[in-house]
Copies of this chain bind each other. A is one copy, B any other.
Amino acid sequence: MENVKVAIWGFGAMGSGMAKMLLTKKGVDIIGVCDMHPARAGKSIFQVLGVERGDREDVIIKANIDEVLTEKCCDICLCATDSFTKNAFPKLKSVLEKKINVISTAEEMSYPQAKNPELAAELNRVAKENGVTILGTGINPGLIMDLLVVCLTGCMTEVTHVEAKRVNSLSPFGPAVMEEQGVGMKIEDFNAGVKDGSLAGHVGFIESVNMIADSMGWKVDKFEQQMAPIVTTVDRKSPYGFAAAGDVAGVNMTGQGYVDGEVKIDMIHPQQIEPEMEGTFTGDYITIKGIPEVNMSIKPEVDGGLGTIAMCVNMIPHVINANPGLKTMIDLPVPRAIMGDFRNFIDR
């Protein structure tokens, strides 16, 4: 049986991390990589990753996707290029039209019907027309604040309220994340950034809320979210971030999904550098009210970077095996670590 063939579009932290993970696995080959960043395009992935090539064929990073993908040239393309469906859409569509399955890391793509129902319908149509499948996933959205919640409701006869809380540290992240999340900003600048939309914060609440609600048959009739600065009272320093006392150490995101006029889904996601310095300990917490109640915690929180890399790679067989169309995590079998030969996970 032939190895599973994977292409990767976008070779930043996520795309290159997936490549590194794939190189440790059996029965799967990376057949092409696209990234237009001048520091990477034209180089061997082994050189960029700092991994021994061994007896593997070399893979040169191309700046142009047309040099990487031709019709049915591989089983799946991992697209790690965007956060928003609107921006990812033309790329995703072009891959589907080459009759290649897709996994997207774009946070909004975890449940694109929430914000872009027309684009979601179009991706579903194009995927079906070409006999392939597209899925958006990651650690969050994708697992921690949505799929895991859904899975835990499975043991309940009745659900009245869901609270998902992810308290994580931004300390391991680089300068781009520091900037996006407002680390080190003055409070006024942070608030201005929220107002003009230049501060991203966490992307994914509306997707998680709708995934949870739809999975159970609840209808979200209103969604709201808030972004507040986490102001530190002490100086905090991480490898790529610094927040002086009185400035912003991170962002506290909160979101609410209303069902029948009531808040039935609460999302709470404070992220900051060095949370322990002021007594905040990281973790993932799910509290579901109903019958029976479920109170789950994961301490410390699941590492976001590794978690996203793993989710995307581990979902490859499920996506290849699925019926054609746009899928979300609630449509497919549960994710699982692929420890054996990838080929054994593929239905032939």
Residue of B217, B294, B306 touching A302 (CB-CB under 8 A): B294
- Chain B residues with Cβ below 8 Å from A281 are none
> B310 contacts A155, CB within 8 Å?
yes
- Chain B residues with Cβ below 8 Å from A348 are none
What is the CB-to-nearest-CB distance from A87 to chain B, in angstroms, rounded to a whole number?
25
Q: Which B-chain residue is minimally distant from A301 (CB atoms)?
A: B292
Mask, A327-348, CB within 8 Å of B = 1, is 0011111111111110011000
> B157 contacts A310, CB within 8 Å?
yes
> B334 contacts A155, CB within 8 Å?
no
Copies of the polypeptide in the assembly: 2
What is the CB-to-nearest-CB distance from A122 to chain B, in angstroms, rounded to a whole number?
21
A143 at the interface (CB under 8 A from B): yes
> A307 contacts B330, CB within 8 Å?
no
> B143 contacts A154, CB within 8 Å?
yes
Q: Within the assembled complex, what's the spacing in Å between the Cα atoms of A150 and B309?
A: 17
- If the complex has contacts A291-B306, A303-B292, A306-B292, are A335 and B155 also in contact, measured as CB distance less than 8 A? yes
What is the CB-to-nearest-CB distance from A53 to chain B, in angstroms, rounded to a whole number?
20
- If the complex has contacts A295-B298, A296-B297, A306-B292, are A215 and B153 also in contact, measured as CB distance less than 8 A? no
- Chain B residues with Cβ below 8 Å from A188 are none
- Chain B residues with Cβ below 8 Å from A299 are 295, 297
A313 at the interface (CB under 8 A from B): yes
- Chain B residues with Cβ below 8 Å from A297 are 296-299
- If the complex has contacts A330-B333, A333-B331, are A311 and B217 also in contact, measured as CB distance less than 8 A? no
What is the CB-to-nearest-CB distance from A291 to chain B, in angstroms, rounded to a whole number?
6
What is the CB-to-nearest-CB distance from A143 to chain B, in angstroms, rounded to a whole number?
6
Q: Which B-chain residue is minimally distant from A332 (CB atoms)?
A: B333
> A215 contacts B296, CB within 8 Å?
no
A49 at the interface (CB under 8 A from B): no
- Chain B residues with Cβ below 8 Å from A330 are 333-334, 336
A105 at the interface (CB under 8 A from B): no
Most buried by B among A294, A298, A314, A339: A339
* A-B residue pairs in contact (CB < 8 Å), sample of 24: A143-B151, A147-B151, A147-B334, A148-B151, A151-B334, A151-B336, A154-B311, A154-B335, A155-B307, A155-B310, A155-B314, A155-B335, A156-B306, A156-B310, A157-B309, A159-B337, A215-B336, A217-B338, A217-B339, A217-B341, A217-B345, A292-B306, A294-B302, A296-B297
